[in-house]
Amino acid sequence: MTDLSPLSALGDALPLTIAIGPLTIRENAGMALASLTLRQGSGEPQPFGLHLPGPGGWKATDGIAAFWIGPGAWMVEAEGRAESDFAAALKAEARHCSVSEQTDGCVMFEITAADAAPIRALLEKLVNLDAQGFAPGSARRTGLEHMSVFVIRRAEGHLALLAMRSAAGSVFHAIETAARRLTAA
Amino acid sequence: MTRLSGGLIDRSKTLRFSFNGQGYTGHPGDTLASALLANGVRLVGRSFKYHRPRGIFAAGSEEPNALVILRGGARAEPNTRATVAELFEGLEATSQNHVGPLGFDLLAVNDLLSPFFAAGFYYKTFMWPKVFWEKLYEPMIRRAAGLGAMSMQPDPDAYDKGFLHCDLLVIGGGAAGLAAALTAARSGVRVILADEDFRLGGRLLAEGEALGDRPAPDWVAEAEAELVSLPNLRILRRTTVFGAFDHGIYGAVERVGDHLPTPATVRQTLWRITAKRIILAAGATERHIPFANNDRPGIMLAGALRAYVHRWAACPADKVAIFTSNDDGHRTAADLVAKGVQVTAVIDPRRDAKALGQYPLFAGSVVTDTKGRLGLSHVQITRDAAPVWIKAGVLGVAGGWNPNLHLASHHRGRPEWSEAHQAFLPAPAGGPPGLTVAGAAAGQGTTQAALMNGAEAARAALADLGISANLPDLPAASDAKGNQHPLWHVPGKARAWVDFQNDVTVKDIKLAHQENMRPVEHLKRWTTLGMATDQGKTANVTALAVMAELTGQSIPQTGTTIFRPPYTPVSMAVLGGGDTGPHFRPRRLTPSHEWAAAQGAVFVEVGQWMRAQYFPRPGETTWRQTVDREVLATRAGVGICDVTTLGKVDVQGRDAGAFLDRLYANPMASLKVGMVRYGLMLREDGHVYDDGTCARLAEDHYVVTTTTAQAGPVYRHMEFARQCLWPELDVQLISTTDAWAQFSVAGPNARRLLERVVDGFDLSNEAFPFMACAPLTVCGGLRARLFRISFSGELAYELAVPARYGNALMARLVQVGADLGATPYGTEALGVMRIEKGHAAGNELNGQTTAQMLGMGKMVSAKKDAIGTVMTRREGMLAETRALVGLQPVDPADPVTAGAHLFAEGVAQDTWSDQGWITSACFSPHVGSAIGLGFLASGTTRLGEVIVAANPLEGKSTRLRVVSPHFVDPEGGRLRD
Amino acid sequence: MLIPHPLLGPRDAQEFTYLGDASLLNRPDGMAEGALPAFCDYVYLRDNPAGIHRELWFHEQGDRSWLVVTRNTLTHEILGAELARDVALRRQK
């Protein structure tokens, strides 16, 4: 085990959790990520028993989840396994596919609320996604203030937002500002 | 008595406000305009050119005259229409465009000189003498230009933006809009109802008529209560939909906090609305009738007067006259009489006009003049050439109604003239797809027609989407027609105003006709009619009708000008969407940013990135000192630099090598596993696009790097090649720029430093030679990748770890390498060292250079097809002689200036003698002078020659010696140690 | 504008980067006879029609697919969109 200490994407020793009105925003620094892309002639694998979702979808099972990122390409999530070499583990599950480590490629914010209303209100301020058509099990990449972000609707009251790790501060500023304005209004 | 009974104002609360320093009171529900009128104030401003006294003309956003500076200090906003400014406690407003008090404007002298200020005067005056233009005329014009003045202070308010999606967007919350919204929302579809006013109801709030058995405002309140209760309907009040864009996308501005003394959260929000169907129910705007001296304070649109009386219980004078060419003006007269206001005359050009109430009717007559410079006092009525003067403090003018079809015309839809309506109606085809028009905006302006038309339009729009909707029960309402008589202006000698805001008269239109500026687009621009902040809403149709009379063409033949967004002015702040200052655009930080900041590094913007530029130490007073130290320390010991920002692309698949062979000019498929190769990427036109490295980690796995600036474009280019050009190749790509923190470790002690962090990895020159690469672990098991590549020319490596560990690794390397002279260095030192080595970077790869010019012509393989290689063989490209050279000043104290152009000594410095240019320059502590790289005609055969670098902006020239671009370690021995 | 992505449905044009005429798919063979004049045409000549245009869009803030979009340059009506990869593969047959 290395003796180097990691930093969160926002540059702190510990990842941030903050409550703003009905919304809680938490940096999920424990989530491992790896991309999985089909090669020619390789069938669609079922890594860790997970059926890979179709375009615009997100599927989860037992701590592992995947969302579609392009034709024949997915991002696989593994809760709590960020310190491990998850890409190697995934490659073992999908030998004939191209796998690349993505854990520190993204900052991941989990945004939760007691019900759907604050989540929908936040979505309509941040991204040009039809909140109504973005039911649990949906995942899309879209633009947020000139940055690319992945948006995942994990549940009625649970959204995940992934952005380039290097832009974590800018993305957080946008989320926080929108959340504060919704609360004050 | 200027405050009447009734009205939709809350008399239980009193609001204090000031206008030009004078205190007044009003009530919630008042606008600034209605409150001023209720206080008997008629004079509110001075006209643009002639500085004539002006008063409130309309009751909505079409207002041309009553423009004030609202609020003070940093929040002062000029050109605010008093007719839409909601009254709040403590509101301060000042009038615009006068020198001296409003009642005694010194610039009113312009009115006396008006013959010289007719339309188009600026094309003919201020021409002579030429020298006066810059010194006198321009400053004069600039001072006189514009209406209000800005605060010149930073805007303290916040702005926001958002995205809405719906099945039906209803624009306008009047009779038609409410009926449409009820119909649609009750069917369950998602509806957005937007209205620019702070209350729903439109003209229903301005009339005294009943809807069924109740006053119209009561029906509105009931409809609103139902709409508010429906979860699938969203009401946007104070929201102007300003433009119809492609594919059902509409722009809207919600004035969230304009009506508050200070906004609670944001001031305004920009909404991007995507709708499947749209109903434009924006109503109609009344037009006036130009006659001599028709612009005095107190002269207003009759429909506006009716609104002030009903909705705001205000009438600024005891005696009112009405000039009308239709029946609607008579309704105003009848309503005024019913409210106890004395109507001294109703003047109607129709000889068979009938009175609709008890008031003196002057049929077959026109208004031919007025008196009362600072406020109307008398009106001259002429019938059969016999004029009489009657008293009036207010004159309501009713010239007909123009449907507000602007948004329906935003896609070049040309409105159609209707003889029956004496107005333009929305074109039946050619407007924004999915948009239909309803109510007064479609020429269905009676209350009953508007209600039914709105409901039917909603039903039809939903049917289009495959959804059935029931028509609601609608109350009985007035269906009185207007019976419009065409009277476009009253002919006469004195000036008659058409466009009040830009001070354009009927005479100006005649002048335009005389000067052959007859097509409406020329008329508009030559006279500036319709070009002010109100965009001629109350003037345009009248103007083109006057032009039609002059040319003898019909009104439809004359046509309208093109309609463009925004419908009403939109602030730059809200278009900006809200982010200002450091948050104006995204900022990307490198993994070691925290550590660098703690060291006191100075940062520089590199695109969206913040990179450490240099690391000053105590005692260093200039950046040069710091950078010189960093360069010397790296070449003497070991330096560490965060190079994470360079683009990294993961390339995998059976055909990864073949793919890279086509992307790069030099061979890549032949690269051995465990090795790295420099990659030269061309554009298809043969010029150099980007460069980087390809590292082969496995048979089917490469990691490719790009320059920082081109990371995005190169990735796009690679996906284009993969998906569009060679889809048959088995290759997969994904960006990994952010995932891996990457550090350059460079200098004679680089190997010794790395030995202290890698876990049992053989770093000897034999085991890990120049251009090798491998995965490994560092610092007790952290997964990492090591590449032995050098940008600096020193013995160098790049070490990559997962980004979350980048900060700690940087600190560790500096710490354990202290005795080896480990020195953090930034982008400045990085730049100096690569220039000292003659390595090309962005400046040399500016899109205008070729492999041949860079001395890399032989790298372009003729044995394979790759992007750009064919076009490098064009005659012109091959004939190019400019080549990369090093440059050193003959006098070591002289600078080398990047961008300077190169000439032979003693030759005139002109385009024909231009021999090249300097691409990069820096001070080299190793050479002891400034040095540079550049492209020079036949440069490689001219080593030792002295040439001249020209700096014509400062009138300077520098003598430079042409040298090899490899200033340090030209044999490259250090790299391979 | 809304681009009808074949897999994701209508997406706002803001998510895309525009490249140009879909004739860019017809890259000549760089090793063939007469490659140079063929490439000159390929790189520089465009029809630039006022009307129906087949063009390449990159879904940069989306699934990173290249699309061939058929659009009327006068009215902006979009008549269809397909994955460029499919168009390119068909072309090869």
Q: What is the number of other CB atoms lying within 10 angstroms of the CB of residue B133? A: 13
| pLDDT class of B975 with cuts at 50, 70, 90 | confident
pLDDT at A113: 98
* CB-based contact, A184 to chain B, within 8 Å: yes
Contact predicate B63/B83, CB 8 Å? yes
The two structure tokens encoding residue B680: 């030269």
Mean pLDDT, range B491-508, rounded to an integer? 96
Between A138 and B582, the higher pLDDT residue: A138
Please tell me which of the candidates A6, A39, A106 has its beta carbon nearest to residue B730.
Answer: A39
* CB-based contact, B869 to chain C, within 8 Å: yes
* Fold adopted by B648-735: Alpha-Beta Plaits (3.30.70)
CB–CB contact C2 B870 (8 Å)? no
Contact predicate B877/B852, CB 8 Å? yes
Report the C-alpha gap between B333 and B351 in whole angstroms: 18
Helix H, strand E, coil C: the string for B54-99 is EECCCCCCCCCCCEEEECCHHHCEEEEECCCCECCCCEEEEECCCC
| Neighboring chain B residues of A151 at a CB cutoff of 8 Å | none
Mean pLDDT, range B412-416, rounded to an integer? 90
B740-746/B638-642 β-pairing: antiparallel
Mutation for testing the B interface, residue in A1, A3, A4, A120 having most B CBs under 10 Å: A4
Q: Start-end ranges of CATH 3.30.70.1400 in chain B? A: 648-735
The two structure tokens encoding residue B281: 């129910």
CATH architecture of A17-184: 2-Layer Sandwich (3.30)
Q: What is the number of other CB atoms lying within 10 angstroms of the CB of residue B3? A: 20
Report the C-alpha gap between A72 and B194 in whole angstroms: 43
Q: Start-end ranges of CATH 3.50.50.60 in chain B? A: 159-284+403-464
Helix H, strand E, coil C: the string for chain A is CCCCCCCCCCCCCCCCEEEECCEEEEECCCCEEEEEEECCCCCCCCHHHCCCCCCCEEEEECCEEEEEEECCEEEEEECCCCCCCHHHHHHHHCCCEEEEECHHHEEEEEEECCCHHHHHHHHHHHCCCCHHHCCCCEEEEEEECCEEEEEEEEECCEEEEEEEHHHHHHHHHHHHHHHHHHHHC
pLDDT tens per residue across span A107-128 = 999 999 999 999 999 999 999 9
The per-residue pLDDT of chain A, averaged, comes to 96
Domain B588-645+739-834: CATH class, spelled out: alpha beta
Q: How many domains does chain C have?
A: 1
pLDDT at B198: 97
Report the C-alpha gap between B202 and B371 in whole angstroms: 34
Environment class of B115 (CB within 10 Å of its CB; exposed 0-12, middle 13-18, buried 19+): exposed
| pLDDT class of B122 with cuts at 50, 70, 90 | low
pLDDT tens per residue across span B864-896 = 999 999 999 999 999 999 999 999 999 999 999
Q: Find the range with the poorest average confidence among A3-17, B87-101, B250-264.
A: B87-101
| pLDDT class of C71 with cuts at 50, 70, 90 | very high
| Neighboring chain A residues of C64 at a CB cutoff of 8 Å | 69-70
* CB-based contact, A181 to chain B, within 8 Å: yes
Complex ipTM, two decimals? 0.99
Q: B545: Cβ–Cβ under 8 A, 6 or more apart, which residues? A: B486, B488, B555, B558
Question: Is residue B115 scored above 80 in pLDDT?
Answer: no
Task: Report in angstroms the alpha-carbon separations of B673 from B655, B676, B761, B773.
Answer: 14, 8, 17, 8
Give, for B172, the enclosing helix (H) or strand (E).
Answer: none
Distance from CA of C24 to the nearest CA of A (A): 22
Chain C positions contacting chain A at CB under 8 Å are 7-9, 11-12, 14-15, 60-65, 83, 85
Contact predicate A108/A28, CB 8 Å? yes
Distance from CA of A180 to the nearest CA of B (A): 9
pLDDT at B97: 81
* CB-based contact, A103 to chain B, within 8 Å: yes
Question: Is residue B754 scored above 70 in pLDDT?
Answer: yes
Domain coverage including residue C42: 2-25+34-92
The two structure tokens encoding residue B319: 């005696």
Report the C-alpha gap between B611 and B596 in whole angstroms: 9
What is the chain A residue with the closest CA to C86?
A: A71
CB–CB contact B246 C85 (8 Å)? no
Count CA within 13 A, CB hemisphere, residue B207: 23
B361-363/B732-735 β-pairing: unpaired
CATH architecture of B881-976: Beta Barrel (2.40)
Model pTM score: 0.94
Chain centroid to Cα B977, Å, comes to 56
* CB-based contact, B654 to chain A, within 8 Å: yes
| pLDDT class of B104 with cuts at 50, 70, 90 | confident
What is the chain B residue with the closest CA to A171?
A: B586
What is the chain A residue with the closest CA to B723?
A: A71
Report the CATH number at residue C86.
Answer: 3.30.2270.10
The per-residue pLDDT of chain B, averaged, comes to 95
B:926-955 residues touching chain C, CB 8 A cutoff: none
* CB-based contact, B162 to chain A, within 8 Å: yes
Domain B159-284+403-464: CATH class, spelled out: alpha beta
pLDDT tens per residue across span B814-861 = 999 999 999 999 999 999 999 999 999 999 999 999 999 999 999 999
pLDDT at B567: 96
Q: A119: Cβ–Cβ under 8 A, 6 or more apart, which residues? A: A23, A111, A113, A131, A153, A156, A157, A158, A159
Question: Is residue B1 scored above 70 in pLDDT?
Answer: no
Q: Find the range with the poorest average confidence among B36-50, B117-131, B616-630.
A: B117-131
pLDDT tens per residue across span B770-782 = 999 999 999 999 9
* CB-based contact, A135 to chain C, within 8 Å: no
Output DSSP code: residue B944: T
pLDDT tens per residue across span B206-261 = 998 899 999 999 999 999 999 999 999 999 999 999 999 999 999 999 999 999 99
| pLDDT class of A133 with cuts at 50, 70, 90 | confident
How many degrees, rounded to 5, is the angle at CA B178 between CA B172 and CA B182? 135
Mean pLDDT, range B383-409, rounded to an integer? 96
Question: Is residue B125 scored above 80 in pLDDT?
Answer: no
Question: Is residue B446 scored above 90 in pLDDT?
Answer: yes
Question: Is residue B100 scored above 70 in pLDDT?
Answer: yes
CB–CB contact C29 B865 (8 Å)? yes
Q: What is the number of other CB atoms lying within 10 angstroms of the CB of residue B377? A: 17
Mean pLDDT, range A151-160, rounded to an integer? 98
What's phi and psi for B765, nearest 5 deg? -60, -30
B partners (3+ CB pairs within 8 A) are A, C
pLDDT at B111: 83
How many degrees, rounded to 5, is the angle at CA A121 between CA A118 and CA A122? 85
The two structure tokens encoding residue C36: 């140079």
Report the C-alpha gap between B776 and B778 in whole angstroms: 7
Question: Is residue A184 scored above 90 in pLDDT?
Answer: no
Question: Is residue B105 scored above 90 in pLDDT?
Answer: no
Question: Is residue B313 scored above 70 in pLDDT?
Answer: yes
